[in-house]
Amino acid sequence: MEWLKVLKEDILRFLKEKEGNKSSLEEIAIESKVAKEDVIEAVRSLEKDNFDNFEKQEVYLTEDGKKEAEGIYEKHNLVESVYGHQIAHALEHYAMKDMKKAFESASSPKKLKDFKEQQIGFVVRLSIDNPMVLSRIIGLGFAPGSYFKIVKKRDDFLVIESHGRLVVLGGEIGDNIEGVEALEDASGRTA
């Protein structure tokens, strides 16, 4: 999923939560933790979709935008009521197969860096606030419910196999992705 789509959905949800369904570009940039230029790009794209209007550094939802934001907001709140904010934030953007299975063991996740080499698990939590980084990580195959195998561990990076490809993650990213050990019968799903 591309980062712009994630940012646009974050902006819609944020505006839905704001009184009067409007906000300044600066406030959106601070809330989204991205550069103002990226916010402007997303706002202009939303305007083309007839979801917002952008005038005098203020952004506000159109009627179509309110409907779209309501759907995102409802998904977010439903998942958040069960699994918490971080998982809800990731899942409001993505459809996921086997959601139930992915979260059955979510009560005791551990950071990827705490898995052993050759250990297989699946992702249950992404604690990544930046939508560009979040989108990239999910694009690499690390959405909640995705299976992975730790191939190699070092203090400052991990080599992980997921969806048939090897990915190198820096230590900080490995600290912000949590998973649980997969059952024996799931081992064939990683590579």
Which residue, 147, 134, 140, is CA-closest to 166?
140
154 SS3 class: coil
Least confident of 3-7, 62-66, 95-99, 178-182: 95-99
Compute the distance between CA of residue 38 and CA of residue 7 in angstroms, rounded to an integer: 9
Q: Higher confidence at residue 174 or residue 90?
A: 174
48 SS3 class: helix
Domain ranges of the chain: 3-70, 99-189
Confidence of residue 185 (pLDDT cuts 50, 70, 90): very low
**Chain length of the chain:** 191
Query: Domain 99-189: what homologous superfamily?
Result: Ferrous iron transport protein A (FeoA) (2.30.30.90)
177 SS3 class: strand
Section 108-123 average pLDDT: 89
Which residue, 92, 76, 78, 85, is CA-closest to 143?
92
Section 14-24 average pLDDT: 92
User: For every residue of 83-105, which 3-state class applies, written as one string?
Assistant: HCHHHHHHHCCCCCCCHHHHHCC
Q: Token pair 């070092």 is at which residue?
A: 154
Q: How much is the pLDDT for 161? A: 92
Compute the distance between CA of residue 49 and CA of residue 76 in angstroms, rounded to an integer: 21
Q: How much is the pLDDT for 132? A: 86
Q: Token pair 């230590």 is at which residue?
A: 171
Q: How much is the pLDDT for 60? A: 93
Does the predicted TM-score (pTM) go above 0.75? no
9 SS3 class: helix
For the chain, the average pLDDT equals: 81
CATH T-level fold of 3-70: Arc Repressor Mutant, subunit A (1.10.10)
Query: Could you report the per-residue pLDDT of 127-169, keeping only the tens digit for each?
Result: 888 888 888 888 887 888 788 999 999 989 999 998 888 989 9
Query: Could you report the per-residue pLDDT of 28-68, keeping only the tens digit for each?
Result: 999 888 899 999 999 999 999 999 998 888 999 999 999 99
What is the DSSP-derived secondary structure letter of residue 35?
-
Section 18-37 average pLDDT: 91
